[in-house]
Amino acid sequence: MSVLIIGVGNELRGDDGAGPRVAAALSALGYHADAHEGDGAELIEMWQGEDTVYLVDASSSGSAPGTRRRIDASETPLQSDFFRYSSHMFGLAEAIETARALGRLPKRVVVFAIEGADFATGAVMTAEVTASCDVVAADIARELGPPSAEGGAGG
């Protein structure tokens, strides 16, 4: 089973760096994880050929900073306004729904959203989001099991 973890976001925009932070933590543990700034068309290309994709992104729904959500996007459409701080017009939610419509969505897509508070350029990630990144990385590692020698998940 091929598994790819994609941390979506921009590390130079405070809490928007949540996805890349989780991807870096999981990559350091030996998982196949990459960071990506979030252009939707590039995301669709990035996950082609993968059986399972985990996506981690900062959200802005009005919940308390650091709130975590796990969404099985294989079955549940994502609300585009949930990820409204993307710097791209065609972001994560649009990429998933477009790929679904085109038959290019991996068999299993799991999205972890971490509620952010400060998305300003040059901002430092808030303590609540930093703590949630650690929890999400641990949750994903627990779901996937130990990484394989090829940098993926055990299976």
Query: pLDDT grade, residue 68 (50/70/90)?
Result: very high
pTM: 0.90
Which among 147, 10, 17 has a CA at the least distance from the CA of 88?
10
CATH of the domain spanning 3-144: 3.40.50.1450
Domain extents in the chain:
3-144
CB 3 within 8 A of CB 144: yes
Residue 16 phi, psi (nearest 5): -65, -15
**Helix or strand run (H / E) with residue 131:** helix 127-144
Query: pLDDT grade, residue 88 (50/70/90)?
Result: very low
What's the confidence (pLDDT) of residue 24?
98
